[in-house]
Amino acid sequence: MEFAFSAATFRLRSLKEAVDAIAKGGFRAVELLADRPHLFPEDFQASQIDELARCLKDRRMKVVNLNSSSVTALGEGVRPSWIEEDWKQRELRIRYTLDSLRLAAALGIPSVSTDGGGPIPESMNEKEAWRLFVANMHRVLPLAARLGVRLLIQCEPEGLLRSSTQLKAMVDELGDLKALGVDFDAGHVWCLGEDPCEAFERLRDHVVHIHLSDIPKDRKHRHVALGEGGLDIPSFLRCVRESGYAGAVTVHLSSVERDAGEVVEAAAAYLKDRGFWQE
């Protein structure tokens, strides 16, 4: 496995500043954010592709994933979601995801992550929301297959797909494993009382990318710096290493209370001190 850091931590700074800080912190891989002010698909111009490629090359950085799970440029967090009651809102999520897949293909990014369905509307039961999510996935997976970019789904504590069991059932039903995969978030499954190692083992054959952060001891859904919460991160990383997983483990913090650059350096130090970081 290799470690990356998510540019989502730098939502209030430019993409260049984010890449600079992540490289300075010692990481050689980055997850980019499909949102403003970074890589919102509607804003990104073809002329910027070479500029971004040079920026990454100069810093010896590779991109492991494009995160389209939470997009503030369209709404709030995971809203609009895949299962909005308003079809126009659903279309915003679908078109945004299609554009994110095209952007990833243009930039040579292997995967795009999305959320686990969003909150179930009061007007729907879980079965109805499930069928709607499946139908909308079938609208985007053909493009992912043609472009050679994997669309990755993750569990969301407040979403339709809240558990690893539900996520596996969804992936099994959709079935298109060339276009589809799992973005495994250890913190999300721990929030809901699952053992991250057991959940990872359940989904291992489908996991393409891993998100890593700590979670407060009360298991409330809030991403905190490594070592500041109650998640047994070393135990989880040993499970991942022993499984033979060879993909990226991306440190993902949605927001931080101290300087973001310091958090990057602290994450690298945490991984080194516990023997997981390999130069």
In Å, the largest CA–CA distance within the chain is: 52
Quick one: pLDDT band at residue 255, thresholds 50, 70, 90?
A: low
Kindly state the average pLDDT of the residues 122-131: 96
Tens-place pLDDT, residues 35-44? 999 999 999 8
Per the CATH hierarchy, to which homologous superfamily does domain 2-273 belong?
Answer: Divalent-metal-dependent TIM barrel enzymes (3.20.20.150)
The Cα–Cα gap between 163 and 275 comes to 30
Residues 6+ apart with CB under 8 A from 73: 35, 36, 40, 42
170 vs 190: CA distance, rounded Å: 19
Region 39-59: mean pLDDT is 89
Distance, CA of 45 to CA of 39 (rounded, Å): 10
Convert the pLDDT of each residue in 144-158 to its tens digit.
999 999 999 999 888
Give the three-state DSSP class for 4.
strand
| 90-112 tens-digit pLDDT | 999 999 999 999 999 999 999 99
Q: How confident is the model at residue 257 (pLDDT cuts 50, 70, 90)?
A: low
State whether residue 150 is helix, strand or coil: strand
Please compute the mean of the pLDDT values over residues 71-84 and round it to a whole number: 89
CA–CA separation, 93 vs 98, rounded Å? 9
pLDDT on residue 261: 82
Distance between CA atoms of residues 217 and 226, nearest Å: 13
pLDDT of residue 29: 97
* Three-class DSSP category at 43: coil
Please report, for the chain, the start and end positions of each structural domain, with discontinuous segments joined by +: 2-273
* CA atoms within 13 A of residue 67's CA, in its CB half-sphere: 32
Q: Mind listing the pLDDT tens digit for each residue in 156-214?
A: 888 999 999 999 999 999 987 789 999 999 999 999 899 999 999 999 999 999 999 99
- Residue 177 CA, chain-centre distance (Å), reads 18
